[in-house]
Amino acid sequence: MSSMETSNLTRETLKRMFQEGKRFDGRGLTDLRDVTIEYGVSKKAEGSARVRMGKSDVVVGVKLQTGTPYPDSLEKGNLMVSGDLLPLASPRFESGPPGFEAIELPRLVDRAIRESGMIDFEKLCIKKGELVWTVIIDAYPINDDGNMIDIANIAAVAALRNTVMPEIDEAGKINYEKKSKNKLPLSKETLPLSFSFFKLGDTIVLDPTREEEEACDSRITFGISEWNGQLMLNSCQKKGELPLKQSEVEQMMEILPGKFEELNKKLKKFL
């Protein structure tokens, strides 16, 4: 993960600061930036949200369409997640075919949401084996100042909570101009969140700025939700060549419950 865009001087400065428990913006190593959520940012989507965390800014829209179910889930609806990482959001993003980041971000958001059980896919079945609803989540980073995966995950959850089903007639034709009174069938108790830990040298940080992120050697992302009062690990993916020690993973497991509760409280006034 160490980027050629990050000078050795910046990297060594950050490494020294992290070892002293300091960051340029004054936060502690595992402190999260302030988060704000804005709803209804798209008039064409069935649900939408814009999330700002520090200077990072992501918009997510949710569209609903009908189609055939997958062969292994004839009584369940479908989920698709995509991420459009436009060059206007960051010098890291390039025009053309999607790069690794453009594939990884939606995949991790998909896994965190899907495996948490937040969406009741059985209630998205219109006619078994023939017609189901497909939930399409589109993420659009507007400004990348680090930690895009976790912020896109928050925006996706907020947009899903904001989604209203369009009208559909008996023939299965959708009227997108007319919304029904039905919200998307979601578990009220489940709030899937994503937490990415970044490692630079022997130090672990949360919610890095872009400069910090580019200096780091590796990252591990956990998809977390709560079920029956217990935290559940729904997904996990590591990136970067530098290995993680057992003690470092144990440290992350100790940090996660407190951070899940902290972010939950921050989001509750918006959700």
The answer on pLDDT for 5 being more than 70 is no
168-198 residue pLDDT tens: 988 889 999 988 999 999 987 889 999 999 9
CATH number at residue 22: 3.30.230.70
Average pLDDT over every residue of 227-244: 92
**Predicted local confidence at residue 269, as pLDDT:** 85
Paired with 140 in beta bridges are: 59
The mean predicted confidence, pLDDT, of the chain is: 91
Q: How far are the Cα atoms of 44, 76, 223 from residue 107, in angstroms, in the given order?
A: 24, 20, 12
pLDDT at 89 over 70: no
- Considering the domain boundaries, does residue 2 fall inside one? no
Q: Does residue 245 fall inside a structural domain?
A: yes
- Give a yes or no: residue 187 inside a domain: yes
The rounded percent of the chain whose pLDDT value lies above 70 is 91
> Can you give the pTM of this predicted structure?
0.92
Residue 249 lies in a domain: yes
Confirm whether 69 is domain-assigned.
yes
- Contact between 105 and 113 under an 8 Å Cβ cutoff? The reply is no
Residue 98 has pLDDT above 60, yes or no: no
pLDDT value for 147: 97
33 — pLDDT class (breaks 50, 70, 90)? very high
Residue-wise pLDDT tens digits, 116-125: 999 999 999 9
Distances from the Cα of 113 to the Cα of 6, 117, 185, angstroms:
32, 7, 13
Number of domains in the chain: 1
Domain with 190, as residue range(s), is 8-268
